[in-house]
Structure 1
Amino acid sequence: MVDPIHPGEVWLVGAGPGDPELLTRKAERLIGEASVVFYDALVGPGVLDLARPGTRLVHVGKRSGRHSKDQKTIDKLIVEAALAGERVVRLKGGDPSIFGRSTEELTACRAAGVPVHICPGVTAASAAAAGLGASLTLRGLARKLVFLTAHAQAGDKLDIDWQAAADPQATLAVYMGKSSAQMLTVGLITAGLPGSTPVAMVENASLPDERRFTTRLDLLPLAARTALGDGPALLLIGEAMRVDEAVPAPLSYSAFSQRTMP
């Protein structure tokens, strides 16, 4: 018998990439047992429908340049709800442990003596690759998978070890990289990654309006600027992404200028 959420307990739950059917069975159960759900902006439509009637749903989403709550406020709300005897689910897009700011929330709960647990979820990189019909690794060519976040404040440079990232035998899964495409391209090419390295861009991975495009590293800034919309996008960079023929409606390399970015 699986124990239910107890009053005063917090679960950090992975909501997956958006499609409710990609939730784990445990995540679905926890959402249904919660008395309050604090949820991110990237939680897909339909996921919140799994909460039982009367559950308090609190939006605490953070998107680039649009934060409804800062992290300290979110920590405080979670702890206060638990101390009030609520059964708390903190619902995070993707997997809570991959660029999900989980450490701050775990620390806040533990400092207050609140029991806290993690329920993992499907991360966006896995969903993006699945939509492409591609593997994130490739025997002999892509022996390593690297998760990167490319979010930077306006005017700041990306804090990335470019030499380590520019490994020709790695697949780079870049989260929040759309607005930093120029810096990514310059950094990786300067560190030695060929401009011809294939790149797949997946917007709204796993959702009905998912869009997929292929390009190459030296054309990435132009492709990201002209092809992608306002939805969250994930970039997959590396030889494992030579999937042009498998992508339903890829952007042809020839659709972009062949000029190598500086």
Structure 2
Amino acid sequence: MLYDAQKVARAESLVIMVGGALSDRKIFGGTEAWGADGRVALVHYRLPGMDGLPLDHRLGIEDAAAQIRTFLAEHDRKRIRLLGYSTGGPVVLSAASKLTGDVRAAVLSPAVERAGGLATVFRGTLDILHATITSGSLNRDTVWSEYYKTLLYGQKGRVDPSKKENIRRISAKQAANIIAPDSDFQAAHTKNLSRWRIPDAMTLSDKAVRFYIGSEDPVFSRRQTQLFASRLGVVDVVEYAEQGHLLFFTCPAIFDDIAAFFEL
């Protein structure tokens, strides 16, 4: 994990952040202001191969949750806030379920059980095929650049004239990161998720938990997410209209909404 030990020691609240597959801590850039006055310290859980961590192991949902709980056991008098994105969602949910005290968890574009199964695979395959046809290329990076538009705003939004400038601006800013995923990275980040189910002993009944989703998310659909939330039982779902999977780019004000939920 990445954190400033002195800031953690002084802070009243700790925010533990867990990114999604193929993402680094920069996606949580909108949280930096939270720690400005020293009352809040930010802690980043690193995924294999990201943020300086070697690509020498695979992410295990329950293992990662246990590591977070071990870290937090040393800070049991702090207010604990957990923030996950996509694959990081199940990690923070599992971690939160066994924590005590003042604990809140928020998840952006949450990954669901078994990564959504065949429904997600089928939908993703169609989106990639559509991107291949639209780009007129078989070059993986070219196709991925076209698919990126769908990740931002969904299939409808990618061709919406009102989204064109935002797509251009975000794509230009993130150009260095818009490359087809390496198979080793993808396996390290998602293999365990494809088998993960909500543990029988997992309960969130005494926790404040909220999902933040885009209505047009092409990776995990609204229906999949709502079903996942209902299975967990006590999760609020906040939906952002005409948004896709990358809410931290398309709707940066979402971090203000999360800060309010976290009572920071």
- Greater Rg by CA: 1
Q: Which has the higher contact order (CA 8 A, sep 6+)?
A: 2
Q: Which of the pair is proportionally richer in helix?
A: 2
Q: Which has the higher strand share?
A: 1
